[in-house]
Amino acid sequence: PPLRIRLPARACPNGRRPAPCSLAAMPSVEHMTQTVNRYLELVGEGRADDVVALYAADATVEDPVGSEVHIGQHAIRGFYASIEAIKSSGEIVTLRALGHEAAFFWRLDVDLGEGGKMSIDIISVMSFDGEGKISAMKAYWGPENITAL
């Protein structure tokens, strides 16, 4: 669950509020880590609808960086539709989660059937909103990060 921090009125930025104020909710490191692991599991299982459910309604996906940015769950669902027909598995190499973001280096192994297999080394950055949903995801990879297996 998101971590909520309440400050006394005198500690609020405007200092004039008679009632306590709250800082924006921030997801815990554990929540972000669990979401990243769940994301990789769902991608590997080809469960596009469940992947989309991890995202906020107005989230963005840029995968790979420099390509079209998909805005909102409908567009994001269209982007992930392709995973339903592909056998794949993901493995985290390293992950760092701080504040409201998680950055992780991971490997996606894809079985192309008779077309062979390939592995893609990816660095992804996810931002999370106060509800713990993914608000933005950027994936950094290109042709030089793809290896035929």
- From the list 55, 63, 80, 129, the catalytic residue is 63
Beta bridge partners of 117: 111
Residue showing tokens 């009632």: 19
Catalytic entry in 39, 55, 80, 129? 39
Residue 63 catalytic? yes
Phi, psi dihedral angles at 61 (to 5 degrees): -130, 130
Active site residue 55: no
Distances (CA, A) of 102 to 7, 18, 109, 139: 26, 35, 21, 12
Catalytic site positions: 39, 63
